[in-house]
């Protein structure tokens, strides 16, 4: 760990404390630091830019009310992932879905950089066909790079359940893509 | 094709829409409330107790009013019955004559 790392952690802790004390500027810093993570989880789950933003906004508003409970920057990330996942599940239960247009898909695909936009879009659309728990487990695994045990903690699922969701979800994606395991 | 790599690329983090943080901050309508003072809590308790007391008294008065109304109605009905009986007697007497 570099010498700057502890200083960075201290800064994050300080931002958290200031935000918890009602400092809007510090809370704005926290939002900007984590907004891509929260928005992306919601976006990959819903494939709907407006709904993803709405959920992400609600997550941060909930965070504002719960700042006093957040113990550390690591706890903050865990909390944000868990609350975002729960809100995505709630959203899927409500069934407020709509078909994403090609323009929107292109709009988001511009962020894809050097990836194959067609394949990325295809995978994103296939992900929507998976059951919600499989979709979330795969999003946490490949977007956030979490290990199955960490996914279990975030989604409040036993390790074997997480492994099963990942295995089944990936098997379905392989089958739809015509890829042999 | 390596599905793991493709998924990692497909599920890379996206940028939140421009102005996202500002939109969240604009929804924080009021600054965080500070701990409510003891005086405020006592005052709120008094107001609540007075309101509940007033509501209960109102309900008791209303109940009594209803009871009195019902009694008056019964008395009126009895009086009408008596008057009606008397009228029938008088009619019969007139018809008989």
pLDDT at B44: 86
Nearest to A35 among B3, B6, B16 (CB): B16
ipTM of the complex: 0.79
Query: Does A2 score more than 80 pLDDT?
Result: no
Residues 6+ apart with CB under 8 A from A119: B6, B10
Distance CA A28, CA A111 (A): 23
Shortest alpha-carbon distance between residue A74 and chain B (Å): 18
Q: For residues A56 and B16, is the Cβ–Cβ distance under 8 A?
A: yes
At A58-68, the pLDDT tens digits run 999 999 999 99
Every domain of chain A and the residues it spans: 8-98
**In this predicted structure, which of A29-38, A92-101, A147-156 has the lowest mean pLDDT?**
A92-101
With a cut of 70, list the residues of chain B below it in pLDDT. 29-37
Handedness of CA A51, A52, A57, A61 (dihedral sign): positive
Query: What's this model's pTM, rounded to 2 decimal places?
Result: 0.67
Supply the CATH classification number for the domain A8-98.
1.10.1740.10
Shortest alpha-carbon distance between residue A57 and chain B (Å): 6
A-chain CB neighbours of B2 within 8 Å are none
Q: For residues A17 and A73, is the Cβ–Cβ distance under 8 A?
A: no
Shortest alpha-carbon distance between residue A163 and chain B (Å): 15
A-chain CB neighbours of B14 within 8 Å are 36, 39-40, 43, 108, 111
pLDDT at A115: 58
At A81-137, the pLDDT tens digits run 999 999 999 988 876 555 445 454 444 444 444 557 788 888 988 999 999 999 999
Exposure of A56 by Cβ count < 10 A (0-12 exposed, 13-18 middle, 19+ buried)?
A: buried
User: Do residue A143 and residue B13 have CB atoms under 8 angstroms apart?
Assistant: yes
């Amino acid at each position: 760990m570099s010498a700057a790392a502890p200083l960075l952690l201290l800064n994050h802790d300080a931002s958290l404390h200031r935000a918890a004390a009602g400092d809007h500027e510090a809370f704005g810093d926290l939002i900007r630091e984590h907004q891509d993570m929260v928005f992306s989880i919601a976006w990959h789950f819903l494939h709907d830019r407006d709904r993803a933003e709405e959920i992400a906004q609600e997550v941060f508003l909930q965070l504002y009310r719960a700042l006093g409970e957040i113990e550390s920057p690591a706890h903050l990330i865990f909390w944000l992932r868990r609350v975002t996942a729960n809100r995505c599940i709630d959203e899927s239960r409500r069934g407020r879905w709509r078909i994403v247009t090609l323009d929107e898909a292109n709009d988001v695909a511009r962020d894809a950089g050097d990836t194959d936009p067609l394949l990325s879009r295809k995978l994103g659309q296939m992900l929507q066909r998976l059951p919600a728990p499989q979709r979330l487990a795969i999003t946490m695994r490949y977007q956030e790079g979490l290990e199955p045990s960490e996914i279990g903690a975030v989604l409040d699922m036993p390790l074997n359940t997480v492994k099963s969701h990942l295995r089944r979800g990936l098997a379905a994606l392989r089958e739809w893509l015509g890829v042999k395991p | 094709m390596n599905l793991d790599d493709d998924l990692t690329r497909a599920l890379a983090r996206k940028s939140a829409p421009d102005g996202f943080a500002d939109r969240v901050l604009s929804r924080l309508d009021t600054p965080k409330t500070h701990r409510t003072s003891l005086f405020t809590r006592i005052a709120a308790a008094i107001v609540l107790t007075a309101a509940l007391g007033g509501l209960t008294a109102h309900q008791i008065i209303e109940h009594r009013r209803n009871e009195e109304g019902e009694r008056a109605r019964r008395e009126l009905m009895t009086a009408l019955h008596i008057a009606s009986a008397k009228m029938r007697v008088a009619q019969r007497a007139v018809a008989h004559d």
